[in-house]
Structure 1
Amino acid sequence: MTTFEQQVAGGDHGIAGAASAVQQRARVILAHATIGTAAHAQFVRSPRNVRRKPADRSELKALVRSQGQLQNLICHEEIIDGVATGKLVVDAGDGRWQVIGELIAEGALPVDFQILYLLVSEAEAVVVGLAENLGRAQLHPADLCEGMLELAHAGRGVADIALIFGVPELTVRQRLKLAHVAPALFALYRDDRITYEQLAALAVSDDHAAQQAAWDGLSPWERQPARLRRLLTAHALPLRDDPVMRYVGLKAYRAAGGLLTHDLLSEDGDGYIDNPALLDSLAQAKLEKLAKRLGREGWHWSAAQPRADAAMLAAYGRVRKQRLAPTPEQLAQLQQLAQRAAALERRADGEGDEDGAIARQLADIDIAQGRIRMALERPDPDDMALAGVLLTVGEDGKACLLRGLIRPQDKARLRKEEKAAAKPRGPHSERLTHVLRAQRTLALRAELLAKPEVALLVLAHRLISAVFLDTHAAGGAVQLEVRAPSLPEAAQSGPAWDRWQAQREALLAALPQGGAVALMAWLQRQPRAVIDDYLAFCLSCGVNGLRDGGHGADGGDGEAGDEVAALARVVGLDMHAWWQPTARNYFSHVSKGRMMEVVAQATSAAQAAPLEAMRKEAAAEAAERAVAGTGWLPEVLAGAAG
């Protein structure tokens, strides 16, 4: 028996403490008992004998055979339907009575052998029987549980039983709870085929059929206590961890007729909510009262949902934000804040910031910048016409108001409106458009390699934008972090790619060994032209012409597309020098109808007509031949044609 099992079986005293308390009470009872003798046939065995697990009586039998009865039995008069039968019920000493019977049957003792006994009342019999058995071989914990149950059946209250055993009343309730588990399962516990933890898990329910079904429905290796408890409480909610219960309040739930199942055998005295539907309805009513007070906020709708999980919330849309251009005053404020932040950072680098004063000032500046940026955002008016507020219960057990949501049905309507207002889909798939933009990126890189003066200009542009205009490099045509965008494998070929790779290999081969320290010394010895080459190459690595998507596959998104176009103009990009449409890089990736359209644009409808009867592969090759030398470029590249 585990230490925890002993503590639950007998409080902090364990079985030894229970034995001491029960034996003390038994001594008081026996001091007033009546002593007598009777023949073996006058006794009957008690159906409530405390020790249910058979014990080895061979030594006891040998002792009685050689020395006779050395200790009396404890009995009470048998009364059936209020009438004494003349029989004596053996409440303690059942083993001695049985071995005397065996010895009489074997002829070792006479038939009229007189057996010594003490007579007590039926109510006192269980206490005296427990006291005697506790003084002999150690009882099984199941015997203690059933002993308490017998006292309860005899009319003893929890407080009286706790006093008899010298344990807290909670321990008595726990023992009685265990004793009420389905008899077949309790018998397995007595035979040590069920652990205490498993029995405690089964006791969370009072339904014997459910207990047996939970046990029988699992294989032996699946009968973990937690698994059994989950099966028996599947209809209920944990009391301690439920945020809706904290929101409604236990008092309000009980006042509405809600019931709880207390798990007396859990280490923290946890319990379960028996009527989750009632609890949720109380939370719903409470949230709806709160929703009425939100009417003045002017939302299109309001709804209460006590339990809103992540999957449910994911079905709702969110009101989009529109970015406003800063006013001259706001722009000036942002520049002043950026200058103050830069001055504080320089001061911290030089003087340090032991007391954290500079860090606090920088935090205040960051908050001020955030407020200005928030002022430059406003909800989309079309979205706001559909938006509402959802009231739910948060994990902290408090009301949570989720404003600016768009219901799933309205979200579908919004998508239809967006689709109707969207630009028509271009002739290229998203994949092909991505590859073409990658080719443009490579061409911009290759052009920058030959124009260090432009690279320096672009670098200055990005630095000034970041420091003075409070814009971020990650969204522009050049990334200051020099994180080269991932280009699709299909774009990693052609003149621009070859030019860029050749320059990379040449510059890499010229670098000194020895890391960053050696590099600085090496750079100081190089002429300006060499440094310009490295500057142009490194800056070109950050060129990103991929961020040019919009509503359609060939669309533009405004600011990012404008920066790419501006960079193309500065470097004098002419895509004719870097890319020509072929069957492999273009025509095999578009429809036959698109091939005919391109050939007609580049040459004439007469040359496009034969393609209709060809297989796609042959048509792609014919289209390549037809447009060769015409200077035709797809729309996504035509703006960079020079």
Structure 2
Amino acid sequence: MATAAQKITLSSSRDIPFNKLVLSQSNVRRVKAGVSVDELAESIARRGLIQSLHVRPVLDADGVETGMFEVPAGGRRYRALELLAKQKRLARTTPVPCVVGDAASGILVDEVSLVENIERAPLHPLDQFRAFQAMRDKGMTEEAIAAAFFVGVNVVKQRLRLAAAAPSLLEVYAEDGMTLEQLMAFTVSEDHARQEQVWEAIRDSWQNEPWQIRRMLTETTVRASDKRALFVGSDVYEAAGGIVLRDLFQSDDGGWLQDVSLLDRLVAEKLRTEADQIGTEGWKWVEASLSAPYGVSHGMREIVGTPLDMTKEEQATRAGLQAELDRLTEQYEDADELPDEIDQRLGEIEAALEALDNRPMHYDPAEIAIAGVFVTIDSDGSLICDRGYVRPEDEAAIASDDDGNETGEAGLSEPSLAQAIRPVVVTMGGQPVPAEEEEDDGIKPLPERLVTELTAHRTLALRDAVAQNPRIAMTALLHKLVSDAFHHRAMSGVLEAQVRHIFFPAQAEELGDSMSVKSVDERNEHWKSRIPADDTALWDWLTGLDEENRLALLAHCVSYGVNALYERPNPYSGSGVSEYGLQLRFDQADRLARETGLDMVQVGWRPTVGNYLGRVTKTRILEAVREGAGERAAQLIDHMKKGDMAKEAERLLADSGWLPEPLRLADPDGVSGADLVDQDEGEATLPAFLTDEGDDEEPGESEDEEFTSIAAE
């Protein structure tokens, strides 16, 4: 016969005046380490008593209740209430919610007190993080949350940052799949997708330490201690819209700068400003870069300057600093450790003395006129200026002048003219950085990189057009072979008819998404999937192709050799292309475009801020709008700032069919003086967009000034 389970009876609850309660001597909590009664009292004052006290009636010697109750469980709460009563913030007769145990129970009071403390399940940290986040979402400030829970604001920021980690990572942490230290490391980045990628990469790896997580999350960033960041300043970077990743859980040395391209642009702008300032001293050239390559001054002569004498004020300042340094050094000579303020002051004095002792140098103006300056950035972000280097070609020019020969550079000895023609060249990663455009400048030559990018568009479109016209591709190949055979342009023997795949040294970002790229790639994949890998099999396969497919494959292969790219002519070396060779390239490109019927508008090129309008002067923007949308449209935007003007011009020219000079088709009947500019006798002519001559020349401008403009671009 089954026995009925005994029913459990729970203790009753009632409100008992505080002055009827006493702390039980059997309460097991005696050590107060880590326990703050003050904070608990403030919490009760703010929120009230959230949890009742457990009490038992106090009996007299005869076992009769005395009306008093002892508190075996809830000692901290009792002490907090007692503190509030002493502070007159709580009346001693205030009713306190209590659970009243049976005085005659066989369960010891000690057991009740111990169980109440050890069976308490601590809150999972993630629950606290999410609770802070919920309060923040409901309008509480970080400061208010910190005040409510008696913690520092930085602690609240840390908890909120942890709660903002990727949800999938929080679930892993909740299931004890990662440590709190690992979760902390993930908060360096706010990119959830990247956080998840890193976790997938390291979750089953032995190399999953927090430092490894931080390294992977910041591998494409720049540390705030990097010389570029120190040179520009994190505040300037953030003011320009840059984001700084910070680690709230350990020292991060200023964090990580996320937008590297923005940082490099700010560095280039500041370097150019500094270089321009140094250029006003009269140097022939100023070359600025992040760091000077080893041996950059090899073969140059370094001119010697004389240090400028100190003024009386500087001498007095130096004497005072030296006296203070001697006094402090003597005073603390026997000290084992310097006080912080004394150590800081000594450092300031030494730095000031060093600055005074490193005197500016005075150079002969005649030597300044032929010398230049290297400007770089030191590891601490300070500017390094190495002045006074003379290039061999400048030495030769001066030597020719001394012999009485005409060099075309005689004007260099005149400071005013020398100053007018000196370019300031700023390089970043070995590449020149374009100078800032003036607001009211005229029609300057297009920047070389922009011309290269535009001609890359045209080259790719020409490849596609040639590949779709086998007859023209065959003619082009035969033209190449006949030229080699009859004009002796080929330098190697036996035939070696070769089509070399030309790659683009500079290209716009949108080139990869153009219609021409997609067409060329699709055609290449079509042939690639059919062509045998074995050489013998390939010959047999080619032999078996019908005439149409043979011509189509020939056209595709020939198209990869099309090169309509602009590159700087190099008449002084066997490498590169001469001006004649560049013009020949452009002429043949125009012929291919006419024969294939290539139209850059039809293949999808449109002027945008990124590929043209944001890269040229305001004058050229207005010229483009005037040509493509009319004079009235140009008048509507001529008052705007350059950035807004470029954006509006993009909209106005979207469907106009306007093309910049490098993408236009030349006149098939020949070239006019407006299109080409005469060079020295015996040399070919170049398009106007590559020279100054097409601009409206200001009175008094010289050839040297025009050349400087090209170099500065």
Return the structure number with greater helix share: 1
- TM-score normalised by length of structure 1: 0.33
